[in-house]
Chains A and B, each alone.
Chain A
Amino acid sequence: MAPDQDHLYRLRNRPFAEKLVDLGFKNITIALASVVAVVLFAILIVVFQGSLESMGRYGLEFLVTSNWNPVDDEYGAGAAIYGTLLTSLLSLIIAVPLGVGTAIFITENIIPQSIRNLLGLMVELLAAIPSVVLGLWAIFVMEPFIRPALEFLHTAFHWLPMFSTPPMGPGTIPAVLILVVMILPIITAISRDSLNQVPGKLRQAAYGVGTTRWGAIINVILPAAVSGIVGGVMLALGRAMGETMAVTMIIGNSNNFSFSLLAPGNTIAAMLANQFGEADGSQVSSLMYAAFVLIVLTLGVNVMARWLVKRLSLKY
């Protein structure tokens, strides 16, 4: 080795400036990552602190009483909480078969690939339509269209508590239907992904022992994909609970409790959207309390979704 080339083989000492940039950049990214945690805790703290006054005044009674009266300064979110749970669960009952059925149809080899891709693209684009546009459509197109059917339900089944009031436009059923439209893409997309991840060997084995297409789907493929599908359904439930605009435009925003699905109702999110702008004093605190309940509900559902996905995943 020639002595004048010696410097080429010596390890370079990193200059101070380079180390500083490196360390500084790492710390900046740590700080930026922490923003997520800070925002999350700040949301919880701000909403919890805002609701303290109302929590102290009403306690847990707030969750079951349903008089919402800004004039007398009396608040209870029972009707809104009931409406939140009712609309989200009903929409789930309708959307799960539709979404999973669609996912099966576009993952199975029933129709040509290009048509399946088109169907998948259309369902994904449905998720991109803003909820306020769906609300506009629900007010002016969907609700007038289904009104005759709702009137028939009332005249034929008015002895049932759930159809006991005449439909007057906005109500719980139209809100449920528009929620179905909003959560369908989530269920379809996640079910489709988990169905696609089922190993082809399982399907071939099922066909090999002589089952039919749906024998394979029901007994082999769906059980293998169940963890992803359940996760998607739970995420959709969380979305349905927190969905605001389309619901507030079509549910009627009535705080009077009613068993009738044809009567106007309310959800926590719709109540927040409607009243937060004009609220003051203890009404703000009560709305914050309702918002806190909504956060607890959606966080609970999301955490449970993740837990269920872990529990249900099949090992194969």
Chain B
Amino acid sequence: MSFTSSRRTTDGLPDLSYQPRAARNVGSRVLTVVAAIFSGIAVLPLVLVLGYVLIKGGSTISLNLFTELPPPPGLEGGGIANAIVGTLVVTLVAALIAIPVGVGGGIYLAEYSRSGWFAQFIRFGTNVLSGVPSIIAGVFIYGTIVTSRVLFGNAYSALAGGMALAILMLPTVIKTTDEGLKLVPDDLRRAALGIGASRFVMIARITLPTAFTPIATGVVLSIARAAGETAPLIFTALFSPYWSDLISGDGLLAPIASLSVLIYNFAIMPYEFHNQLAWSASFVLVAMILFLNLLSRWLGRFASR
């Protein structure tokens, strides 16, 4: 038996001890350091962005921000209250459309047709739809809802914005429902059907409640993502410097402000006060989204207990 290593101990046996100066060990350590540096670079943007949003946006948080309307260009004083309300309204509209459709579609995929051709086709379509750029959802709603004025003769509206966001939420909701229901053990289904439950009762009383946590986690994440989207809103929900008339409901059919569009509009304005409002709006938006993300994480952990 021959050893390729020429290194021997004093007894003439091959020396198998770790050689810290061997080229391959040095190379390995160098690559470890490189990987560590890459991870550092990867988390640096998060730290920097959060830091700046916290410092620049957080330092100007005041009560006015949550109660007053944004000032006209060039003037100072005011807040972003209508945009906060608008973001909540548009996201709510999107959730009310996407959750029933997405959960229903997911139920079909997981409960009725796991491997049929139609289910495979819908799964493929869901994947393709999740790859469609968000701006295209805006273009689509503009081309169908806004230009045709199909919503009672109104062009730009909160409803149209909500629909555009719903298109983006839909694939996530379907996928999480599909996968959440697949995790439910088949024993539960057989037991329910075996004691005489109908398919509908089995789904409504057994499988859906069992899969509630994974579905809720995915839905909360998709809401968080939709709340931060801008591109689908800029030519569907547009923007409004005024309060939306939500009590009579007309506000849903009129252009509506949102935090993300406010940030976009005010960031590229040449007025310092408006830039500052954009930072404050970023702070509020990021706080909302991080809260939703942590909520979904907590939901997930709650389930695994």
* Chain A residues close to B by CB (< 8 Å): 12, 14, 18-19, 21-22, 25-26, 28-37, 39-40, 42-43, 46-47, 50, 97-99, 101-102, 104-106, 108, 110, 119, 122-123, 125-126, 128-137, 139-141, 181, 184, 188, 212-215, 217, 235, 238, 241-245, 249, 269, 272-273, 276-277, 287-288, 291, 294-295, 298-299, 301-303, 306
Contact = CB atoms under 8 A, between A and B. Distances in A.
A130 B45 contact: no
Contacts of B63: none
Interface in B17-71: 24-25, 27-28, 31-32, 34-36, 38-39, 41-43, 45-50, 52-53, 56
B107 interface: yes
* Residue with the highest number of chain A CB atoms closer than 10 Å, among B131, B230, B282: B131
B144 interface: yes
A21 B198 contact: yes
Interface stretch (B77-85, B183-191, B211-219, B263-271): B263-271
Contacts of B118: 30, 33
B140 A276 contact: no
A141 B109 contact: no
10 tightest Cβ-Cβ pairs between the two chains A and B: A242-B133, A130-B228, A32-B104, A101-B38, A29-B108, A33-B105, A302-B131, A244-B231, A212-B28, A105-B35
B41 A37 contact: no
Interface residues of B, number: 88
A139 B267 CA distance: 8
A22 B267 contact: no
Contact of B122 (A37, A245, A306): A37
Contacts of B39: 101-102, 105-106, 119
B127 interface: yes
Given A249-B267, A273-B234, A294-B136, A129 B286 contact: yes
A137 B278 CA distance: 10
* Residue with the highest number of chain B CB atoms closer than 10 Å, among A19, A33, A39, A134: A33
Nearest to B297: A121
B209 interface: no
Contacts of A291: 135-136, 139
Contact of B105 (A29, A99, A125): A29
Contacts of A50: 143
Interface string B101-123: 11011011101100000110110
* Residue with the highest number of chain A CB atoms closer than 10 Å, among B41, B121, B267: B267
A117 to B, nearest CB: 11
Contacts of B278: 136
Interface string B218-255: 00000011011111001100100000000000000000
Contact of A128 (B52, B224, B260, B263): B224
A137 B49 contact: yes
B136 A47 contact: yes
A200 B102 CA distance: 37
B133 A298 contact: yes
* Residue with the highest number of chain A CB atoms closer than 10 Å, among B41, B102, B107, B108: B108
Contacts of A134: 49
A35 to B, nearest CB: 5
A133 B132 contact: no
Given A22-B200, A244-B135, A35 B105 contact: yes
Nearest to A136: B267
Contact of B263 (A14, A110, A122, A132): A132
Contacts of A213: 28, 32
B129 interface: yes
Given A133-B228, A241-B133, A104 B35 contact: yes
Nearest to B282: A133
B125 A37 contact: yes
A10 to B, nearest CB: 12
Contact of B128 (A97, A242, A287, A302): A302
10 contacts: A22-B198, A29-B112, A39-B129, A40-B132, A47-B140, A131-B228, A133-B263, A140-B275, A243-B133, A306-B127
Contact of A272 (B24, B45, B135): B135
Contact of B228 (A30, A132, A139, A273): A132
Contacts of A128: 224-225, 228, 289-290, 293
A32 B263 contact: no
